[in-house]
Amino acid sequence: MRKSVFALTMVLLAGGVIAPAGAQSFDSKYQEAFARRVGNPGNTSALSDFVRVAVEAGQYDQAISTIEEHLINYPLDAKAHLIAARLYHNVGSRELAARHVEIALDIGTLDAGDDRSAQRLHASIDRSLAGISGFLDLTTGVRSETIDFQPTAPWTDRTDINPFFVATAQVRFDLETSTNNAILAFGQFNARRRFGDFNFDGFGGVYYAPQGRAGITLDVGLPTELIPTLRGQLTAYADYETFDFGLYRSAYGGTARLTAAPTANTFVYAEGGYAWLGASDAVLFEDERYTFEAGLTWRVFNSHTLGFAGRGYIDRVQGFGEVAHLYEAELSYAGQVMAFENGAVWTQSAGVAVADIQVTNFVLGPVFPYFGGYWRTYWSHSLQIDDISRIDLDLSYRETDYTNLPARDQSKFDVSLSYTISLF
């Protein structure tokens, strides 16, 4: 119960943090930034603040016209050229971005940090112009997992503190079409330690759980007169996940996804998929998995967004039927907390979800599944230090109850602190 109260308090605290960040209306924030720029026409910091506020509101035309007007009056302002390069790069004007970043470097007055940033941006633009772009993110950190078991469970409560590592990579090949079609190759590997009793036999414990995914996606524009922003993604992938006692799950599958932005402030998506699990450890029973997800996000104001999603999966055994499922609904928030003068940005996200679950019984077989539900909540903070590095703090809480297996009921509280560096 104490952890339940803590989790609810965590969400309320998130709301408390959200309120001050959004207390100032966009109009007043915009006018304040505009007044500061007008009052300090040669101040690049004031210019940068105004461009950032305009971009947050989706006012790219205003941001571009402002930066170009500034450069007419101050053509040797290297920092302003760098700001312009970033802006043009973000809106897809690669040639203009390349020209401005080259001018910024040629002027030679950037400080050491901005010079390194400009060099990285220049290399990224060059790859984009060649039709190839991508990233490699390496994340390392420490995670604390605290589990509160029911008194009748065969284990005692425990806290496990352990390091973890994640590597994520993606390469995008531009097909040079009017609808920005592309092929994306991606991969991810993560290694962590966790507690589990996957087969519910009472002999679980802490084990190392490497996971991996690799795949390829065809991303194409499907504009119609009714939905001009419609896009489709077809993905083929392979997954590998390990559990305790050497059990593992292999999945080979594909997904089809549709996305659209009906307005400048909304985004919707829907996805369905299928995976063959037959190569998994034979103890896992499942032969195939059907996945589904749909959701929407709505930018309420400035850089604050609300979201709703429904997702889940159904596992089946050929010739038998369904042996496991998960149906989850989630409500979420994401937004900016603060932007610092040195360019660092602090953002946060929070959410709550509820789910109905059915778990395969690996002792008695799929005829006698365990079923129940859970609710979970999370609160995450991210500090983007510069173009290549960030720090993340993540808190989450989950409470699981099994209707026909109360001895396995548990609540879990996780805290993780990590550092990510982007090599490309």
Work out the mean pLDDT of the chain and round it to a whole number: 83
Residue type at position 16:
G
Please give the residue that has the higher pLDDT: either 50 or 220: 220
Q: How many CA atoms lie within 13 A of 404 on its CB side?
A: 9
Residue 159 pLDDT: 87
Instruction: Name 387's Cβ contacts closer than 8 Å, sequence gap at least 6.
Output: 117, 120, 121, 422
Confidence of residue 42 (pLDDT cuts 50, 70, 90): low
Task: Let me know how many helices (H) and strands (E) the chain has, helices first.
Answer: 7, 16
pLDDT in tens, 349-379: 999 999 999 988 766 666 778 899 999 999 9
Is the distance from CB of 351 to CB of 375 less than 8 angstroms?
no
Residue 38 pLDDT: 66
Confidence of residue 6 (pLDDT cuts 50, 70, 90): very low
Please give the residue that has the higher pLDDT: either 240 or 89: 240
Query: From start to end of 94-230, where are the E strands?
Result: 132-149, 158-174, 182-191, 193-196, 205-208, 211-221
Lowest-confidence range among 3-7, 71-75, 255-259, 300-304?
3-7
- Please state the pTM of the whole predicted model: 0.78
Give the pair of three-digit tokens for residue 18: 């959200």
Confidence of residue 10 (pLDDT cuts 50, 70, 90): very low
pLDDT in tens, 180-214: 899 999 999 999 888 776 655 566 677 788 899 99
DSSP letter, residue 280: S
Is the distance from CB of 274 to CB of 291 less than 8 angstroms?
yes
Lowest-confidence range among 18-27, 47-56, 269-278, 367-376?
18-27
Residue 389 pLDDT: 92
